[in-house]
Chains A and B, each alone.
Chain A
Amino acid sequence: MFFDKPHFRIMGDRALLVEWGDEINPLINQAVRELFFSLDNQKIQGVAELVPGYCSLLIQYDPLRLPLSTLQEIITLSSRKSQAVYIADSRTHKIPVIYGGSYGPDLQWVADYHDLSIPEVIRLHTGTVYRGYMIGFTPGFPYLGELPDAIAAPRKEKPRTLVPRGSVAIAQKQTGIYPSDSPGGWQILGWTAVKLFNPFANPPGLIGMGDQVTFVSVTEEEMKQWVL
């Protein structure tokens, strides 16, 4: 459900969760994105951090400098005129992926799960334009949606302790890319050499909330050419 006005939940005495809905939906996510840019542009004294989620924005603030009631008023006002605020253009990213084999150890499992051939799984995964809903889990990890139902798959029963950097994976109706070596429970379909996160770059993350992402199936040789 897409709420007609933002709902507030407190997370302790220094964070406010502003919810625009309770489901994964591009319109709800866009409302979160608009509020995020509106508040970010206002550079409000006492706001320490803004973390956008699928359908909520988490605002960390200093209650000694910014009373909760004032923050809530600012949000209500910003929500009304959110149409007028500047919103950074969303970008489009084409991510090359080597599917299957040692690069995508779960591709066969996903194909079997849906009784599809491997080329059909690849065609479905590359045939969708995904929205960057939020960035989280580890720095630069994009939660992308929505995956076609025909290849949606549950998480692994036993998460891996080490998923290699660059792994392209799916879970339920989401797909994502692991920007660094980390533990993980998603089904790995392939791998990309594209770097998603660089702590020394500005901005440090490649994919932002609201960006559009597509995947392209490539060979090892094509991958080398792509990232040269």
Chain B
Amino acid sequence: MGSLAVLEILAPGPLTTIQDLGRFGFGRFGVARSGALDSFSCRIANLLVENPENEAVLEITLSGFKARALRDLNIAVTGANLNPYINNVPLAMWQSRIIQAGDILSFRNIQNGCRAYLGIAGGLDVMPVMGSKSTNLICGFGGFNGHSLQKGDILNGNPGSRSIQDLNLFLAPEWIPVYTKEWTLRVLLGPQNDGFSSDTVKMFLQASYSVAPQSDRVGIRLSGPLILCKAGIAESIISEGIIAGAIQITGGGQPIILLNETMTGGYRKIATVISADLPILGQVKPGDQIFFKQVNLEQAFFLLQEYERKINNFKLYN
């Protein structure tokens, strides 16, 4: 069964890209992981339309995206509430829905969060590069020919040729994440917290930071109290590998939470966001406030287990 045109982009909004759960195993060549910034919403969007959870979805940033269905499709929208509509009817999120050929899907304004995810049953038919369909915008490969979606782009998929049945899947309401404008991110100190005095670390953990407008898929830039190294210690370090969630203190003392588009860094990391809280990093937007809360490895492990249990329960009962 061949690939079929499923969606025509009428307006891309500020940034819409094709992402799956990322590109692994090529960090040795400096190739970043890319992938959905909010992996929870990506996984659930796929599971709601009976795709493998690593299938490619659309990551839709802020409002303004508009597309036309080119055939009947099962879809699911998760993540940020960007006020999605089908034609002139609001579209329920976090559940499978049918849209018909000719229907217009639009995201009208920002209710909460930053990025919505659109899963389409059968997935998106783009060529995997280094094992992933994710878009690497910096280097220009993967996803839709290596670039963000533009007006007029036609996406292909494998929706199946039989008539569409209602899948009737939804995420239990108590598991739908609540997005606010004030976020508490749980962190483990390190790897280079020893470059900062204990008073500085304490200040970092008590301060409120606001998200700066220059934030993008490379990093969330914060403004707030300056974090300065101990006297006599250089701000830069010998370059080393990094992961998403590492909180790097750059030259001027402002923290950056590194995201999915970079693999190495040459500044100290005071702390690292725990795995269970990584999906939040995809929903933080300029102007939001961030607080950091220290946890230990056992707590982080427990929270990650709890997070994975939500996904596993969904798979078990649907």
- Residues of chain A having any CB pair with chain B under 8 Å: 9-15, 17, 22-24, 36, 48-58, 60, 63-64, 68, 134-141, 143, 180, 182, 197, 199-200, 203-205, 208-209
Q: How far is the CB of B187 from chain A (nearest CB, A)?
A: 8
Residues in B with CB closer than 8 Å to A15 are 243, 272
Q: How far is the CB of A58 from chain B (nearest CB, A)?
A: 3
Residue A11 contacts which of B27, B272, B308 (CB distance < 8 angstroms)?
B272
- Stretch in B48-56, B117-125, B234-242 with 4+ CB within 8 Å of A: B234-242
- Residues of chain B having any CB pair with chain A under 8 Å: 24-33, 129-130, 136, 138-142, 187-188, 190-192, 238-243, 245-246, 263-264, 269, 272-275, 297, 300-301, 304-305, 308
Question: When the two chains form their complex, are residues B243 and A58 in contact, meaning their CB atoms are under 8 A apart?
Answer: yes
Residues in A with CB closer than 8 Å to B25 are 48-49
Known contacts A52-B241, A53-B238, A138-B139; is A204 also within 8 Å of B31 by CB? yes
Question: When the two chains form their complex, are residues B29 and A48 in contact, meaning their CB atoms are under 8 A apart?
Answer: no
Residue A49 contacts which of B24, B190, B239, B269 (CB distance < 8 angstroms)?
B24
25 CB contacts below 8 A, A to B, read: A10-B272, A11-B246, A13-B297, A13-B300, A22-B238, A49-B27, A53-B238, A53-B239, A53-B264, A54-B238, A60-B243, A63-B275, A63-B300, A64-B305, A68-B297, A134-B239, A134-B264, A136-B30, A136-B263, A137-B30, A199-B129, A199-B136, A199-B142, A208-B28, A209-B28
In the complex, what residue of chain B is closest to A23 when comparing beta carbons? B238
Residues in B with CB closer than 8 Å to A200 are 129, 141
In the complex, what residue of chain B is closest to A32 when comparing beta carbons? B240
Known contacts A12-B275, A68-B297, A137-B264; is A204 also within 8 Å of B240 by CB? no
Question: When the two chains form their complex, are residues A139 and B238 in contact, meaning their CB atoms are under 8 A apart?
Answer: no
List 14 extra interface pairs beyond A135-B29, A136-B241, CB under 8 A.
A10-B272, A12-B275, A13-B304, A51-B27, A51-B240, A53-B264, A58-B243, A135-B28, A135-B30, A139-B31, A197-B29, A204-B130, A205-B29, A209-B28
Residue A54 contacts which of B130, B192, B239, B275 (CB distance < 8 angstroms)?
B239
How distant is the Cα of A14 from the Cα of B187 in the complex, in angstroms? 12
Residue B30 contacts which of A13, A23, A57, A138 (CB distance < 8 angstroms)?
A138
Give chain A's interface secondary structure class.
loop
Q: How far is the CB of B269 from chain A (nearest CB, A)?
A: 7
Q: How far is the CB of A213 from chain B (nearest CB, A)?
A: 15
Residues in A with CB closer than 8 Å to B138 are 138, 180, 182
Residues in A with CB closer than 8 Å to B269 are 11
Residue A136 contacts which of B239, B304, B308 (CB distance < 8 angstroms)?
B239
7 A-B pairs with least C-beta separation = A58-B241, A51-B241, A136-B264, A12-B272, A53-B240, A13-B300, A9-B191
How distant is the Cα of A49 from the Cα of B27 in the complex, in angstroms? 7
Question: When the two chains form their complex, are residues A10 and B241 in contact, meaning their CB atoms are under 8 A apart?
Answer: no
How distant is the Cα of A60 from the Cα of B24 in the complex, in angstroms? 10
Residues in A with CB closer than 8 Å to B301 are 13, 63
Question: When the two chains form their complex, are residues A141 and B30 in contact, meaning their CB atoms are under 8 A apart?
Answer: yes
Residue B245 contacts which of A12, A49, A55, A203 (CB distance < 8 angstroms)?
A12
Question: When the two chains form their complex, are residues B243 and A12 in contact, meaning their CB atoms are under 8 A apart?
Answer: yes
Question: When the two chains form their complex, are residues B139 and A12 in contact, meaning their CB atoms are under 8 A apart?
Answer: no
Residue A204 contacts which of B26, B33, B239, B246 (CB distance < 8 angstroms)?
B26
In the complex, what residue of chain B is closest to A54 when comparing beta carbons? B238
Question: When the two chains form their complex, are residues B304 and A55 in contact, meaning their CB atoms are under 8 A apart?
Answer: no
Residues in B with CB closer than 8 Å to A64 are 304-305, 308
Q: How far is the CB of B27 from chain A (nearest CB, A)?
A: 4
How distant is the Cα of A179 from the Cα of B300 in the complex, in angstroms? 38
Question: When the two chains form their complex, are residues A10 and B190 in contact, meaning their CB atoms are under 8 A apart?
Answer: yes
Question: When the two chains form their complex, are residues A10 and B31 in contact, meaning their CB atoms are under 8 A apart?
Answer: no
Residues in A with CB closer than 8 Å to B264 are 51, 53, 134, 136-137
Question: When the two chains form their complex, are residues A10 and B297 in contact, meaning their CB atoms are under 8 A apart?
Answer: yes
Residue B275 contacts which of A13, A24, A68 (CB distance < 8 angstroms)?
A13
Residues in B with CB closer than 8 Å to A135 are 28-30
Residue B274 contacts which of A12, A137, A140, A204 (CB distance < 8 angstroms)?
A12
How distant is the Cα of A10 from the Cα of B243 in the complex, in angstroms? 11
In the complex, what residue of chain B is closest to A56 when comparing beta carbons? B240
Question: When the two chains form their complex, are residues A11 and B275 in contact, meaning their CB atoms are under 8 A apart?
Answer: no
How distant is the Cα of A13 from the Cα of B26 in the complex, in angstroms? 21
Known contacts A13-B275, A17-B240; is A50 also within 8 Å of B304 by CB? no
Residues in B with CB closer than 8 Å to A49 are 24-25, 27, 33
Q: How far is the CB of A127 from chain B (nearest CB, A)?
A: 25
Residue A58 contacts which of B26, B188, B240, B275 (CB distance < 8 angstroms)?
B240
Residues in A with CB closer than 8 Å to B238 are 22-24, 53-55
